[in-house]
Every structure is written in structure tokens, then in C-alpha cells.
A and B are shown apart, each in its own frame.
Chain A
Amino acid sequence: MTGAAEATSVDPATSVDPVIPVTPVIPVTPVAPVEGPAGTAGLSDSGGGSSRSPGRPVQEIVFPTREQYLSVVQGYRDDGFEMCIDLCGVDYLTHFNRHLPDGVPPERFEVVVNLLSLSTARRVRLRVQLPESHLEVASIFDVYPGVEAMEREAFDMFGIIFAGHPDLTRILMPEDWEGHPLRKDYGVGRVPVQFKGAPGPR
């Protein structure tokens, strides 16, 4: 499964030119869960609840591998997902055995990307598994320049390297900060409350 050619096969019916709609977009009947691009595992709506209100759109989730990631994102971009609305990291150190579809080996880190199509009012979420030993993934800055700050934030908070990012530096923490605060093994500092005769700091 080579990525670039296959990645465009999301749903030909909905692939439209990324033209800005001139009339307000009418919502959204919940779309049928679609398979992800070939070679990636697809999943629909893993959000736990059983009963859903009808107005709540179904969430499409796709699990590309690190190698497929960039071409899958490019494919979605060509399919009319004009905007990368969000990108963040998750550290699954203490929740390693989460629910994932078959064929997606769980890894410690995930990069979660939310794409948005304005023309069809659809969202899709990409979850990329990254092992701790090789915490690097391609930057999608060239596809969506708007992820510049978001990728920096994920780097700052988790230490995920986005190869090809123009300026992968810390964004929220001071430049000389050590460690990546949102990792689960990053100690949460506590200020000991001082009482007379209290034991020392924990």
C-alpha cells in the first residue's frame, strides 16, 4: 500500500473542489462511517456513549502509520478538507491498552489531527501512533501552514519531532526548559503546605 495514490480514495462522492461555499453551509446529516484511506485502519465514533443525539455528527477516525501520515493528510487536503483545525499530542503511558481497531499496534504517543471540510461540513480525525524510541513524524506544515503553532506546542509539551517544520522550538515553555510537561512521567510539582511539625516535602 503506497500512500499517495491510495490516500485519495476516501469517498469519491464527496470529493469536491476546495471552493469556498458562497451560501451558508447547511448542516450535516450524520455521514455514514467510511473506511479510511486504503491501508489505514478506519474507525467511526469511538467516543464511548451508546445513545447519541441526532444532531451530533458521527466522528470519523483514521489511523495512518507514520509513513502514510503525510500522504494521507495530503489526500484529505485534495479531497476538500480545507482546514487543519487542530493538532495535539497524547501520551498513553499509563493507558496503553486503549481501544484501537485491529491492525493498529498501540504505541506510547499519538499525534491527533482534526481536519475540517467547510464545503461538506465534515470532520475527520487522524491518529498517528508513535513509539517512544522514535518520536518523529513528518510535519504537515507544507500542506496546512496553520499547524505551525500547533506542532510547536506538541513538540513543546511532548517532545514529538516534526520533521520539516521550519522552526521547531518551544512555544509556551521557556526556551531553556528541561523536559516536556504534558508527558505522563513528568512530575507534577507540589508546594508543601507548611504546618508546625509537619513532615518535610514529599
Chain B
Amino acid sequence: MTDPTSNTPEDGVDGTDGTDAPALPATERGAGTPNDTTFRASAHEAESSGHPDTPQSPPISRDQYLKVGPDGEPIGLSAETFEGHQELTRRSTTDPGELRREVGAVLRLPEGVVIDPANIDVEQSDDNTMIINMGPQHPSTHGVLRLMFELDGETVLRTKPVIGYLHTGMEKTAEELTYVQGSTNVTRMDYLSPLHNELVLSLAVEALLGIELPARADWIRMLMTELNRVSSHLMWMATNGMDLGSTSMMIYGFREREMVLAFFEKTTGLRMNHNFIRPGGTAADLPDGWEDDVTIICDTVLPRTDEYDELLTGQPLFRQRTESIGRLSAEEALALSLTGPILRSTGVPWDLRRSMPYLHYDQVDFDVIVGTYGDNFDRYSVRLNEIRESIRIIRQIVEKMPAGDYRVQDKKVTPPPRARIDESMEALIHHFKVFTEGFKVPEGEVYVAIESPRGELGCYLVSDGSSKPYRMHIRGPSFVNLQALPVMMRGGLLADAVSVCSSVDPVMGEVDR
């Protein structure tokens, strides 16, 4: 595997180095009289010193800011702010750690290059490049993602994704909720594939409980998560189309997704945030006539994917904006821990449904879609074909759906049926206990992972034997996949940044959690 840190620091600021004569050491540049304007503690300071003692802005002379050493050289700035005394050191004496933080860290270097502070030209480094923010409110960032670009002209040099704007402490909240309440919490993380979130938590809890589900519960879960994969990928097709200027694709994607959501509403009661898959099974059985509904969805969406194919795949404009844009090698993808369609687009056939099957994915027939070049077009093709594969799986699930119970008949985990509450006091008490106290989960810790539409969705669950998780950590695929942005965007055009960001398919609810 190639070493992803093999790029030299000089590569990191390519386009700025070499275009200027080597800057003088800052100490020499700063030498001279205290009035020399080369001392640039801040742009404001340098500007104000250019127009000294104009009648309009006199009262503070520059010497009041400058502290001058015994040799007449400025050694720093001091100024009173409303927060008190503030001392600024001169740029050339800035601590290397601080410099690295400013230059290398504020803007992430691609491929994780660690920069050498000695190579940072404090005077010149920012002169020929421009730093531009995209987001956090930009419509193309799919939520509150902020991207900081360092641009040379229109070419993106470095990118830093800044996240956290949607952080609501859901992992902390999970420690305050019982296992029964837990799925209401996690379902709000990745709001485009809520059922996958519920599934991974439920699988983790069940692993700790050591309970075995009835087959029908597992197959219902498979049906719902595959439908959710279809709706999530359709949503991606829609937003990706919109990002690339194809408004009709946006409408089409939402139109087909609506069919899936209508089925979800019929089954779970809600279009999103279902709280349907719960520890111990599902909340309800499938509604009567679900086979017909699902078959209609399959029969509609599958031919429509051919229409999308016709609309986008062969279209020259679309191909120009996706082909060989945002390329990524398999080695880079593995080193950056990327999973899901991004990893598969680089040619790595890794799909947890196939490689480490959960539920009953070993009993259904489907293909793992892989790309070749790892560019935007491959990621598009992977997702489009995964819709088809999911529909193939769904058709098999409709055939194979076993009869039986949809939740485990374990009185500790499963509340009594609603009808029993009306006739039995014990059932009422039992129901009350399950939903107020919850059930206790044996001490232990477990990591469970499933394949969400965005990649490996993992749940690390620690139980201390009580009815609430001691620690619940969700490994969000979007959170990790965002690390690919600096690599994908490097050297590309700013206009393609929108396309690249879209092809990662981040869901900020899951990134920030």
C-alpha cells in the first residue's frame, strides 16, 4: 500500500512556492526603524501606519502600540482591549507549534501531510492564494457543512471541512435514555436512512442481550432497510442532479422517493424518524397488502432508473462534470477509512452485506457494485446500480418472507400486545414497566456494524448492567467520509467542489450527531 503521507510539504502549497523570490528572513525584513511598515502584525495595523497622524484619526500614535527593543527594533505589540491587556508577539517569533496550527491545521493539507514549521514562509505564504469559505449555509453543502478552500486562481489547493454546527450531543443524550427509548434518539442521526440507525442500535443491544429474533423480524428489517437504501440513493440522485444543474433529476428523484416514504408512513406511521426497528424486533407487523405496495414500488422505480440512465449517463454535460473529477485511489480510500459507495467506486468490493453478512443477507442474491476510477462518475454509477440491486433484493424478500412473529417473545424485552392491556392488570403493569424503566442489559461491550447507504455504520455499545447504555458511540460513515474531501478536491476547480462534495453524500445529522 502506498504511503499516503509521501507528499512533501512543498506539494501542499504548490503554486505559491517558487513564484516568489525567497523571502528574507523575517528578522531582516523587520529590521529598521520602528516606523518601518514591513512589520505586519495585522493588516489593520499596517494600513493605519501607512497614513500616520492624519487629523481625522490622530489620538493613538503607533508608538503606543509598538514596544521597541533596546536596538530600536520592534519586539511586539501591546494594546489594551476591552478584555484587558493584550500582548502580540511579532510574526517571526511566533512559536512553531502555533505556526503549524495556523498554516497547516486551519487548512488541512491533503493526504495528511505534516508540515515542517521551518518551511512556512510567514511573510509570503498567503499572498498568492485566497481563502474562501463555502457554507455553513451554502445550499450545495447539504446541510451545515463549512468548507474552507485555499485557492490559487480557481484551483483548489487545500480544503478543510469544518463541522460541528449540528452537534446536539446525541451520544450524551443516549446515556440518559433507556434502551427502549434509544432508537428514537439514533433515528435522528442519519435522517435520510433512519431505519439503518435503528437497526444498528437494535443489533448491538440484542448482541448484548444474547437474544435470537424470529425469522420474520429479521426479514422485515431487511425489507425496510433495503427500501430505505433505495429512498436514500434516490434522494442522493436528486440532490446530486440539482447540484450539477439538472433540475428535472431533482424532481424525479423526489417523486420516486415519495413512493417509498408513503409505504414507510403506512407501515411505521411516520415518513422519517420511524422508531420502527427496536431492540427485540420491530414495532409492528407489516400492513395488509404490503406485498402489492412493495411490488408496485419495485415495478415503478426499476424502469425509472433506466430513465435516469438515459437522462444523465450519456449526457455530455453531466459526464464532463463528473468524469475524472474528484478521483481517489483505492489505497487512499483505505488509508482514510472510507467505506460505502466511495470505497467501492475505487474498485474495492467491500460491502458488509456480502463480506460480513448480518440478518439474512447470505440468503439473498445480489451483486456488489464496484467502480474503477474512483471519480464522481463512478460514485454516481455505483449508487444508481445499487438502487437496482436493492430492488433485486427486495423482490427476493417479498418471495421469502416467512410467517411468524415480528418480535421476540421475551417478556423482559417485549411489551405485551396492546389488546391485552385492556383486559389484564398484569399486562398494564408490564407495559408500564417496559416503557418507564426499560429492561436491563447484561454488562459488556460490543461493536456491531452494518452497511448503510453511506458506508459502514457502526455502534459501539457499553453496558454496565443497567437499563441505560453506559456509552453509545455511533461510527457515522459520513463523519469519516468527509475526510476524503481535501484529497478529492485538491487540484480541481472551485466549480467542481460542489460536485465532489455532493458525491460524498454527507448527511450532517450523522456527521455532527
Give the CA-CA distance A90 to B462 in the complex, in Å: 9
Q: Which of B319-343 contact A (CB under 8 A)?
A: 330, 334-339
Chain A, residues 124-165, CB within 8 Å of chain B (1/0): the string is 010000000000000001101111111001000100000000
Give the CA-CA distance A120 to B219 in the complex, in Å: 27
**Out of B176, B357, B458, which one reaches A27, CB within 8 Å?**
B357
Give the CA-CA distance A23 to B348 in the complex, in Å: 9
Residues A57 and B356 in contact, CB atoms below 8 Å apart? yes
Q: Which of A34-83 contact B (CB under 8 A)?
A: 46-53, 55-57, 59, 82-83
Give the CA-CA distance A121 to B351 in the complex, in Å: 11
Chain B, residues 332-364, CB within 8 Å of chain A (1/0): the string is 001111110000000111110011111000100
Q: In the complex, how many angstroms separate the beta carbon of A147 from the nearest chain B beta carbon?
A: 7
Which residues of the partner chain B approach A148 to less than 8 Å between Cβ atoms? 112, 483
Give the segment of A5-13, A170-178, A194-202 that binds chain B.
A170-178
Q: In the complex, how many angstroms separate the beta carbon of A115 from the nearest chain B beta carbon?
A: 10
Known contacts A50-B210, A85-B458, A173-B167; is A27 also within 8 Å of B330 by CB?
Answer: no
Which residues of the partner chain A approach B337 to less than 8 Å between Cβ atoms? 83-85, 144, 146-147
Which residues of the partner chain A approach B1 to less than 8 Å between Cβ atoms? 18, 82
Known contacts A23-B349, A25-B355, A166-B104; is A47 also within 8 Å of B444 by CB?
Answer: yes
A181 at the A/B interface (Cβ < 8 Å)? yes
Residues B104 and A48 in contact, CB atoms below 8 Å apart? no
Which residues of the partner chain B approach A51 to less than 8 Å between Cβ atoms? 210-212
**Out of B105, B336, B356, B512, which one reaches A146, CB within 8 Å?**
B336
**Out of B347, B443, B460, which one reaches A114, CB within 8 Å?**
B460
Give the CA-CA distance A89 to B245 in the complex, in Å: 42
Q: In the complex, how many angstroms separate the beta carbon of A173 from the nearest chain B beta carbon?
A: 6
Q: Which of B94-113 contact A (CB under 8 A)?
A: 100-101, 104-105, 108, 111-112
Residues B111 and A145 in contact, CB atoms below 8 Å apart? yes
Known contacts A27-B362, A118-B334, A173-B164; is A48 also within 8 Å of B443 by CB?
Answer: yes
Which residues of the partner chain A approach B100 to less than 8 Å between Cβ atoms? 166
Which residues of the partner chain A approach B464 to less than 8 Å between Cβ atoms? 94-95, 98
Shortest Cβ distance from B471 into A: residue: A90
Q: In the complex, how many angstroms separate the beta carbon of A184 from the nearest chain B beta carbon?
A: 8
Known contacts A24-B355, A49-B210, A144-B337; is A149 also within 8 Å of B483 by CB?
Answer: yes
Known contacts A53-B212, A114-B460; is A98 also within 8 Å of B443 by CB?
Answer: yes
Give the CA-CA distance A102 to B350 in the complex, in Å: 36
Q: In the complex, how many angstroms separate the beta carbon of B359 from the nearest chain A beta carbon?
A: 9
Residues B105 and A56 in contact, CB atoms below 8 Å apart? no
Residues A182 and B172 in contact, CB atoms below 8 Å apart? yes
Give the CA-CA distance A99 to B475 in the complex, in Å: 24
B208 at the A/B interface (Cβ < 8 Å)? yes
B287 at the A/B interface (Cβ < 8 Å)? no
Q: Which of B471-486 contact A (CB under 8 A)?
A: 471, 473, 475, 479-480, 482-483
Shortest Cβ distance from B479 into A: residue: A149
Known contacts A47-B207, A121-B356, A150-B480; is A144 also within 8 Å of B335 by CB?
Answer: yes
B171 at the A/B interface (Cβ < 8 Å)? yes
Shortest Cβ distance from B105 into A: residue: A167
Residues A167 and B108 in contact, CB atoms below 8 Å apart? yes
Residues B449 and A85 in contact, CB atoms below 8 Å apart? yes
Give the CA-CA distance A90 to B446 in the complex, in Å: 13
Shortest Cβ distance from A18 into B: residue: B1
Q: Which of B187-223 contact A (CB under 8 A)?
A: 207-212
A16 at the A/B interface (Cβ < 8 Å)? no
Which residues of the partner chain A approach B334 to less than 8 Å between Cβ atoms? 20, 82-83, 118
Residues A169 and B105 in contact, CB atoms below 8 Å apart? yes
Total A-B residue pairs with C-beta atoms closer than 8 Å? 164
Residues A86 and B463 in contact, CB atoms below 8 Å apart? no
Known contacts A146-B483, A171-B163, A188-B176; is A24 also within 8 Å of B349 by CB?
Answer: yes
Which residues of the partner chain B approach A21 to less than 8 Å between Cβ atoms? 349
**Out of A28, A47, A145, which one reaches B446, CB within 8 Å?**
A47
Residues A171 and B212 in contact, CB atoms below 8 Å apart? no
Q: In the complex, how many angstroms separate the beta carbon of B159 from the nearest chain A beta carbon?
A: 13
Shortest Cβ distance from B331 into A: residue: A20
Which residues of the partner chain A approach B108 to less than 8 Å between Cβ atoms? 167
Which residues of the partner chain A approach B444 to less than 8 Å between Cβ atoms? 46-49, 99
Which residues of the partner chain A approach B470 to less than 8 Å between Cβ atoms? 90, 95
Which residues of the partner chain B approach A181 to less than 8 Å between Cβ atoms? 169, 172
Q: In the complex, how many angstroms separate the beta carbon of B275 from the nearest chain A beta carbon?
A: 22
Give the CA-CA distance A56 to B368 in the complex, in Å: 21
Shortest Cβ distance from A91 into B: residue: B471
Residues B349 and A25 in contact, CB atoms below 8 Å apart? yes
Give the CA-CA distance A86 to B448 in the complex, in Å: 11
Q: List 28 A-B contacts (CB under 8 A).
A: A24-B349, A25-B354, A27-B354, A46-B444, A46-B445, A47-B446, A48-B444, A55-B357, A56-B207, A56-B358, A85-B337, A85-B449, A85-B475, A86-B458, A90-B471, A114-B460, A145-B335, A146-B338, A149-B482, A150-B480, A153-B479, A167-B101, A169-B105, A171-B163, A172-B164, A172-B512, A182-B171, A186-B172
Other A-B contacts than A48-B442, A121-B355, A146-B483, 10 sampled, CB-CB below 8 A, are A20-B330, A27-B356, A48-B443, A49-B208, A95-B470, A144-B335, A145-B335, A150-B480, A173-B164, A181-B169
A interface residue numbers (CB < 8 A to B): 18, 20-25, 27-28, 46-53, 55-57, 59, 82-86, 88, 90-91, 94-95, 98-99, 112, 114, 118, 121, 123, 125, 141-142, 144-150, 153, 157, 166-167, 169-174, 181-182, 186, 188
